[in-house]
C-alpha cells in the first residue's frame, strides 16, 4: 500500500486528490503512520542570507528586481551573522537551517566561498544545513557536499505546463537538471511547490507526477500556499482554502510516502485546527521563525505551544540520515571551475509578469 512508486499517472493522482475527504485523510494517515512517527515534526528555520535584486521573473516572488515590492534588499550576510541566527534557531527548537539567496544561479567566487563557510559553520553546530541558491553545476554541488551540506532545495513550483505561466526566464528542464546535479552528490534533495498561483487541480497532480518520477524521490517536499505580495504579478490571487491545502498534503503523502512533507508558506492564513488536519494528513515538517525569506510566518513560541497541544515533538537532527563530514576549504579536493549551469531562456511572454514589470518601472 505504501511502496514507493515512480510511475504514478496524473489520472491516478487526481482520483486520490478528489476522494471524499474522510477517505483521503484515512488513507494518507495510514501511510504516514507506516513510514513515520506521526507525533514527530521536523522544524526548519529559513534564513534569507541575500535578499532581493534577483534577475528572474518568478510571478510569485517579491525578490525579483523587476517588480516593485516593499522588500528591502541586502548583501550577503557574514558568516558570523549566520552563525548567530543558527544558534538562535537551534535554541528555538529547529534542527535545520535553510539558507536562501536570491540568485538565479551560483557563481564561483568569494560569495560562494562565503556560503561554503556558512555551511561548514552550521554543520559544526550539529544542525542540518540546507541551501537554496538557484541553479548549481555538479562541481558546485560537490563543493557544497564537501562542506557538509545536508540538503539542497530547488522547487519545481508547479506542473511543467503551468510553470510557463509563472516564469519566463528559465525552463522546467533547468530545474530538473539542477536536481540531477545535486543527486550526483550525497546531499539530499528538497523539492516541492506552491499552490494558489491560479493553477488548476490537474497542475497540482502534474507537479506530483514530476516529483514522484524522480528516482529517488525528494527526501523533503515543501507544500506552500501562495502568499500574494503587492507588486508581484500574482498580487490579486485569492488565498488558498484550507481544504485545498489538506487535500494537497494528503495526496503528497500518498504519492511520496517516505518524504518529509513540509507545511511551508501560508501558515499565517491557517488556523491551528487547519494545521492540525494537515499534520494528520501527513505533513511532518514546518518552517519556524517569524519570517519565511520575506513573507510573514507564525511566531516560533506559538508553534511550540501548538505542538504541545497536539502532543508533537520536534525531530532531532540527523534522524533520517547521518551527519555529513565537513572538509575544510584548505583540504578540498574540488577546484572552482568558474563554470555556469547551462540553462534555457525560453523568454516567452507572460502578460501579467510584463504588466507588473511596467508598473514596477513607473513606481521605482
What is the DSSP pairing of strand 40-50 with strand 96-101? parallel
Q: Give the residue with the Cβ less far from ligand SF4, 31 or 194.
A: 194
* Cβ neighbours for 217, distance < 8 A, ≥ 6 positions apart: 4, 6, 211, 256, 258, 259
Q: Residue 347 — left, alpha, or beta (φ > 0 → left; ψ -120 to 50 → alpha)?
A: left
Q: 12 to each of 5, 36, 251, 360, how far by Cα in Å?
A: 12, 23, 11, 42
* Contact by Cβ (8 Å): 193, 154: no
Task: Report the nearest approach of ligand SF4 to the CB of residue 51 (Å).
Answer: 9
Q: Give the residue with the Cβ less far from ligand SF4, 41 or 58.
A: 58
Task: Tell the residue number behind the cell numbers 517536499, with chain if given.
Answer: 221
Among 120, 190, 247, 278, the one annotated catalytic: 190
* Contact by Cβ (8 Å): 288, 278: no
Task: Tell the residue number behind the cell numbers 507564525, with chain if given.
Answer: 298
Task: Report the nearest approach of ligand SF4 to the CB of residue 47 (Å).
Answer: 14
Task: Report the nearest approach of ligand SF4 to the CB of residue 134 (Å).
Answer: 6
Among 61, 96, 120, 131, the one annotated catalytic: 61
Among 58, 131, 143, 175, the one annotated catalytic: 58
Q: Give the residue with the Cβ less far from ligand SF4, 251 or 353.
A: 353
Among 175, 253, 262, 267, the one annotated catalytic: 262
Active site residue 131: no
Task: Report the nearest approach of ligand SF4 to the CB of residue 314 (Å).
Answer: 28
Beta-carbon count within 10 A of 279 CB: 23
Active site residue 278: no
Point out which residues bind ligand SF4 (CB under 6 A).
54, 56, 58, 61, 63-64, 102, 104, 134
Q: Give the residue with the Cβ less far from ligand SF4, 28 or 234.
A: 234
Which residue in 251, 310, 316, 261 sits closest to 283, CA to CA?
Answer: 261
Among 66, 96, 130, 267, the one annotated catalytic: 130
Sign of CA dihedral 342, 208, 298, 91: negative
* Contact by Cβ (8 Å): 110, 78: no
Q: Give the residue with the Cβ less far from ligand SF4, 27 or 174.
A: 174
Task: Report the nearest approach of ligand SF4 to the CB of residue 284 (Å).
Answer: 25
For the annotated catalytic residues, the residue numbers are: 54, 58, 61, 98, 130, 190, 262
Amino acid at each position: 500500500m505504501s511502496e514507493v512508486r515512480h510511475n504514478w499517472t496524473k489520472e491516478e493522482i487526481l482520483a486520490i486528490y478528489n476522494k471524499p475527504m474522510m477517505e483521503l485523510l484515512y488513507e494518507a494517515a495510514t501511510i504516514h503512520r507506516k513510514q513515520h512517527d506521526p507525533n514527530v515534526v521536523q522544524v526548519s528555520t529559513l534564513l534569507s542570507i541575500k535578499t532581493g535584486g534577483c534577475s528572474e521573473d518568478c510571478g510569485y516572488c517579491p525578490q525579483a528586481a523587476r517588480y516593485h515590492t516593499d522588500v528591502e534588499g541586502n548583501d550577503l550576510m557574514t558568516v558570523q551573522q549566520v552563525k548567530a541566527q543558527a544558534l538562535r534557531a537551534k535554541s528555538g527548537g529547529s534542527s535545520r537551517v535553510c539558507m536562501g539567496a536570491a540568485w538565479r544561479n551560483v557563481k564561483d567566487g568569494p560569495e560562494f566561498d562565503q556560503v561554503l563557510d556558512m555551511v561548514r559553520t552550521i554543520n559544526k553546530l550539529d544542525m542540518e544545513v540546507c541551501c537554496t541558491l538557484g541553479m548549481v553545476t555538479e562541481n558546485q554541488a560537490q563543493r557544497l557536499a564537501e562542506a557538509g551540506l545536508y540538503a539542497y532545495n530547488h522547487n519545481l513550483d508547479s506542473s511543467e505546463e503551468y510553470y510557463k505561466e509563472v516564469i519566463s526566464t528559465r525552463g522546467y528542464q533547468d530545474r530538473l537538471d539542477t536536481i540531477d546535479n545535486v543527486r550526483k552528490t550525497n546531499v539530499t534533495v528538497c523539492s516541492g511547490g506552491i499552490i494558489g498561483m491560479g493553477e488548476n487541480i490537474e497542475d497540482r497532480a502534474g507537479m506530483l507526477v514530476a516529483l514522484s518520477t524522480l528516482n529517488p524521490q525528494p527526501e523533503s517536499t515543501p507544500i506552500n500556499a501562495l502568499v500574494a505580495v503587492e507588486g508581484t504579478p500574482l498580487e490579486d490571487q485569492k488565498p488558498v482554502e484550507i481544504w485545498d491545502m489538506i487535500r494537497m498534503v494528503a495526496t503528497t503523502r500518498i504519492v511520496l510516502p517516505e518524504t518529509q512533507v513540509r507545511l511551508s508558506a501560508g501558515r499565517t492564513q491557517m488556523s491551528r485546527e487547519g494545521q492540525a488536519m494537515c499534520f494528520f494528513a501527513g505533513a511532518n515538517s514546518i518552517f519556524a521563525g517569524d519570517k519565511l525569506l520575506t513573507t510573514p510566518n507564525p511566531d516560533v513560541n506559538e508553534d511550540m505551544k501548538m505542538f504541545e497541544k497536539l502532543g508533537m515533538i520536534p525531530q532531532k537532527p540527523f534522524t533520517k540520515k547521518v551527519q555529513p563530514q565537513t572538509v575544510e576549504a584548505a583540504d578540498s579536493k574540488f577546484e572552482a571551475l568558474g563554470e555556469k549551469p547551462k540553462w534555457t531562456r525560453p523568454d516567452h511572454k507572460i502578460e501579467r509578469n510584463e504588466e507588473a514589470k511596467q508598473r514596477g518601472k513607473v513606481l521605482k
